Amino acid sequence: MGRQSEKVAALFRLMKQFTISKLASLAGLSRSTLLYYDRIGLLPPSGRTGAGYRYYTEKDSKRLERICHFRGAGLSLDEIRQVLKSGGKPGARLLERRLDQLVDNMLNLRAKQRILAGMLRQVTRKENGGPVDKKMWVEMLRAAGMDDDAMTRWHQEFERRSPEGHEEFLVSLGIPKQEVLEIRQWARAEGGLEK
């Protein structure tokens, strides 16, 4: 009976342990990622089997879950190590710094998006026989069944929802700046947006 209970206890311990491949699979990571985390001391295994294989416990699994959570928020491995050493709660300064970095990245991506959109407009103009200008746009709206009142409402709604987007759109049609200003003022006045 003693040997049997020892086997059951050993089996129970093994059930609470994960191989590196199993833990990596559960976390959706590669085995080499966990080897790297071990090498840099971020997630060392809880121990090794008699054959020398790494094994991880439920506690290690939870630590890896936190690491993945912090990585998902964009924290660097060094920042994650500091957070885990300090009790596992990131400080406000670290989060603010990371948030500022994300805002900068978003602004940079937005600028790149505008450049690519401009390049795409240039390419499609050449491929499609010319740019969409004010005349073509009005013709398309009329062909879609819009009368003057509907076009007025369209401008009012565009100006109300996105004044800058409205201006960018009008400029993209090749409308001179002064006329764009007049259209926007008219849309605000007609839509009751002017005070």
Q: What is the pLDDT of residue 195?
A: 44
pTM of the model as a whole? 0.50
- Beta bridge partners, 17, equal 57
Report the run of H or E that residue 185 belongs to, with start and end: helix 177-190
Q: Is the pLDDT of residue 194 over 80?
A: no
Q: How many angstroms separate the CA atoms of 145 and 148, rounded?
A: 10
Please state the domain extents for the chain.
Answer: 2-90, 92-130, 132-195
Q: Which amino acid is at 132?
A: V
What is the pLDDT, as a whole number, of residue 1? 47
DSSP alpha helices (H): ranges in 51-143?
58-72, 77-85, 92-127, 134-143
Highest mean pLDDT among 59-73, 114-128, 162-176: 59-73
Least confident of 10-19, 47-56, 93-102: 10-19
What is 2-90's CATH topology? Multidrug-efflux Transporter Regulator; Chain: A; Domain 2 (1.10.1660)
Q: Beta strand 17-19 with 47-48: parallel, antiparallel or unpaired? A: unpaired
**179-193 pLDDT per residue, tens:** 989 999 988 887 666
In angstroms, rounded to a whole number, what is the distance separating the alpha carbons of residues 9 and 20?
22
